[in-house]
A = this chain, B = another copy of it.
């Protein structure tokens, strides 16, 4: 019993039970109505999850909801946001569309929220329009060379920078749109080119989104947002826009951009419209009907503190109930959210159904406990999952083996993960083979292997688990062939077109890709929960650290030496880590673990489980909320190396101030100490 290991026949059984039609029906149910966080539609999904997880035949051991009072931002349904072009005598010459165009009954649902920028302040902004490319700092610098930007309104296209970065206060207001070049491979016509004829975004489609640049409830940093919890004043929130912002469709952007005056923007700034993208004079061309007119934003967004629910479910472990494998996805969408997030939720429900059934039938109970989380209010800033990690910080830190996130399960047509599951549409090709065919790299230890990205950002609910708790995490999805389209994401993302109709006709007809994701994710989940020795490889971690080190030495060593800063401690630390990892591998390899004392196996598993925790430093990134993992934190330097070092180096190189070089040295010491500390956990325990 204590030596219980993975049962391969049980995995076969699981794989054979995962059903594509069940996933399709889950999705149909989940997408009946829009279910933006805290709305009535959201509550319907809460009830649906509870019903499924409490099902006597295929539910979990226990399921319940947990509520948080969180700070959200909504447009006013009685007073819609408006974007207009007004001439000097205040005549409205042009009005931007307030709602996306209807192609199916879905768009007609009164609960479809008007496109808006969550956390944009309410306000009225008027000014001459300028085109600011992707709204990156470098774009603003470029634009600023050509004119005085004060008092202008910027129009920027999605991509390049995150939403949170698109709003410097030099402007009076910002419009943001999706250029057909970036999402539609240039196509623009809804007569025959865009949805409902294809997966491409219709001209009126608008990507909604949160313009908050940190994660978790904004009023309760580091504290779970309960009724009586201390809240900062809304005016003390950092990382939300100081100026009004509104997203618009490309049909309106086309009108505005093609009328802009001034010089032509650089080639890299040009999009798919059949006109030259000018900077703006600022404002429109003299020859335009909009000549001398302003763009005006009337934004009526309102903040609101509302109850948001996570739905939680557990399967109790038999041998090590005090070890948790967590599997989660958010439940809230912007509109119907068929792909984002309901594709992931449909997959989660199918794999929890199969596992629940095996448990209820007495055929299986995992070695370790499994926790399922259906997070609320992710779209506003990963709020439900972040509050959960704040509330349960201690137990989760002590006991969690791994976190698996499957948000958008299927972006398109090619899956990224592991073997044993056949890749749909490629008869004899396993998911693993297909993955390696489309995206691979060469590892010194393993040869050619699939590429895996690092979870260094905050793109979905894994963020708090990785960055705040230091829990080993993965995020997976099936995606499309990037050699066949330049779409930066599936085109209906965050629009009113992300519906069951769209998903079932254009993303995954037959739901075989969803099924492949469910099988793959479930396979991994079972192995994490059932393996006698955790399937986590510390030598692969060493390989990543060596990669990072090599990059850092190549990029930084010369200048660091010139500033009397030695990289030797970092090299030593990575060397220690490699030796320690090799040693632990050898201990695992040479032990007959099934016949070892359970405490020896536990010792090794604790070394593996806690490895990522060793890289946490709550003081390493004072300016980055909840980022504590010194290896995987986000970085703006854009180099594949240690994030804090890279960012500190960029700053020091640019200022050349001793205090900035001091910060580079400080970060090197933080890193070296963390890596040596991690290595210490892998060597003999004493």
A residues with CB within 8 A of B: 1-2, 222-224, 226, 228-230, 314, 316-317, 319-322, 324, 369, 371, 390-395, 398-399, 566, 568-569, 597-599, 602-603, 606, 610, 613-614, 618-619, 662, 665-666, 668-670, 673, 676-678, 680-681, 685-686
Q: Contact check, B321 vs A685: say whether CB atoms are below 8 A apart.
A: yes
Inter-chain contact B319/A599, CB cutoff 8 Å: yes
20 new A-B contacts, CB < 8 A, other than A319-B597, A324-B686, A394-B613, are A2-B598, A223-B670, A223-B673, A228-B566, A229-B669, A229-B673, A230-B665, A230-B669, A320-B599, A322-B686, A369-B686, A390-B673, A394-B677, A398-B610, A398-B613, A398-B681, A399-B685, A599-B599, A599-B602, A602-B602
Nearest-neighbor residue (CB-CB) of A618 within chain B: B618
Which residues of chain B have C-beta atoms less than 8 A from A676's C-beta?
Answer: 391
Chain B residue nearest to A668 (CB atoms) is: B230
CB contacts (< 8 Å) of A669 on chain B: these are: 223, 228-230
Most buried by B among A395, A610, A619: A395
| A392 partner, pick from B316, B399, B677, beta carbons under 8 A | B677
Tell me whether A2 and B230 are in contact in the complex, defined as CB-CB below 8 angstroms, given that A673-B223, A686-B316, A686-B369 are known contacts: no
Contacts of A230 in B (CB 8 A): 662, 665-666, 668-669
Of all chain B residues, the one with the shortest Cβ separation from A678 is: B394
| Beta-carbon contact of A619 and B680 below 8 Å | no
Cβ of A391: which chain B residues have Cβ within 8 Å of it? 673, 676-677
Chain B: which residue is nearest A393 at the CB level? Answer: B677
A-B contact pairs, 5 of them (CB 8 A): A222-B619, A228-B569, A371-B686, A390-B673, A598-B598
Asked if A603 and B668 make an inter-chain contact with CB atoms under 8 angstroms apart, the answer reads: no
When distances are taken between beta carbons in the complex, the residues of chain B under 8 Å from A673 are: 223-224, 229, 390-391
A662 to B232, CA, bound (A): 8
Q: Which residues of chain B are near A681, meaning CB under 8 Å?
A: 394-395, 398
A321 and B606 alpha carbons, distance in the complex (Å): 13
Q: Which residues of B contact A678 (CB under 8 A)?
A: 394
Q: What is the distance, in angstroms, from A395's C-beta to the closest C-beta of chain B? A: 5
CB-based contact B686/A603 at 8 Å: no
Given the known interface contacts A394-B677, A677-B393, the answer about A226 and B322 at a Cβ–Cβ threshold of 8 Å is no
Check A599–B677 contact: CB distance below 8 A: no
A244 to chain B, nearest CB (A): 29
Which chain B residue shows the least CB distance to A616?
B394
- Give A609's nearest chain B residue, CB to CB: B398
Are B680 and A394 within 8 A (Cβ)? yes
Contact A685 B322 (CB under 8 A): yes
Copies of this chain, whole number: 2
Asked if B2 contacts A599 (CB within 8 A), the reply is yes
Find the B residue at minimum CB distance from A614: B394
Rank and list the top 7 A-B pairs by shortest CB-CB distance, nearest first: A322-B685, A618-B618, A230-B669, A394-B677, A230-B666, A394-B614, A230-B665
A319 to chain B: which residues have CB within 8 Å?
Answer: 597, 599
Cα distance A167–B493 in the bound complex, in angstroms: 63
Given contacts A230-B669, A322-B685, contact A680 B392 (CB under 8 A): yes
Q: What separation, in Å, do the CA atoms of A399 and B613 have in the docked complex?
A: 13
Partner of A599, one of B228, B598, B610: B598
Count chain B CB atoms within 10 A of each CB in A228, A369, A662, A665 and give the residue with the most: A228
Nearest residue (CB) in B for A597 is B2
Give the Cβ gap from A216 to chain B, nearest Cβ, in Å.
14
Residues of B within 8 A of A662 (CB): 230
Bound CA–CA A210/B539 (angstroms): 46
A645 to chain B, nearest CB (A): 12
Once the chains bind, are A398 and B606 in contact (CB under 8 Å)?
A: yes
Closest B-chain residue to A658, C-beta based? B233
A566 / chain B contacts, CB cutoff of 8 Å: 228
In the complex, which residues of chain B have a beta carbon less than 8 angstroms from the beta carbon of A606? 322, 398
| Cα–Cα, bound, A229→B668 (Å) | 8
A686 to B61, CA, bound (A): 11
Chain B residue at minimum C-beta to C-beta distance from A224:
B673
Nearest CB in chain B: distance from A580 CB, A: 11
Bound together, the chains give a CA A598 to CA B319 distance in angstroms of 10
Evaluate contact between A680 and B395: CB separation under 8 angstroms: yes
- On whether the beta carbons of A395 and B677 are closer than 8 Å, the reply is yes
State in angstroms the CA–CA spacing of A668 and B279 once bound together: 53
Task: Return the chain B residue nearest A395 by Cβ.
Answer: B680
Cα–Cα distance between A662 and B602 once the two chains are bound (Å): 44
Q: How far is the CB of A400 from chain B (nearest CB, A)?
A: 11
Q: How many angstroms from the CA of A225 to the CA of B568 in the assembled complex?
A: 15
Which residue from chain B places its CB closest to the CB of A392 in the assembled complex? B680
Q: Is the beta-carbon distance between B613 and A686 smaller than 8 angstroms?
A: no
**Roughly how many angstroms separate A668 CA and B222 CA in the complex, as a whole number?**
13
Instruction: Please measure, in the bound complex, the distance between the C-alpha atom of A224 and the C-alpha atom of B573, giving whole angstroms.
Output: 14
**Chain B residues with CB below 8 A from A316, complex form:** 686
Give the CA-CA distance A211 to B299 in the complex, in Å: 58
Residues of B within 8 A of A392 (CB): 677, 680
Look across to chain B and name the residue whose beta carbon is closest to the beta carbon of A226. Answer: B569
Question: B residues within 8 A CB of A314?
Answer: 686
Please, which residue of chain B has its CB at the minimum distance from the CB of A369? B686
- Smallest CB gap from A227: residue in B: B569
Residues on B with beta carbons closer than 8 Å to the beta carbon of A597: 1-2, 319, 598
Considering only CB atoms, which chain B residue lies closest to A615 in the complex?
A: B394
Q: Beyond A322-B686, A686-B316, A686-B321, is A568–B228 a contact (Cβ under 8 Å)?
A: yes
Residues of chain B within 8 A of A613, CB atoms compared? 394, 398
Q: Which of A398, A568, A598, A662 has the most B CB atoms < 10 Å from its CB?
A: A398
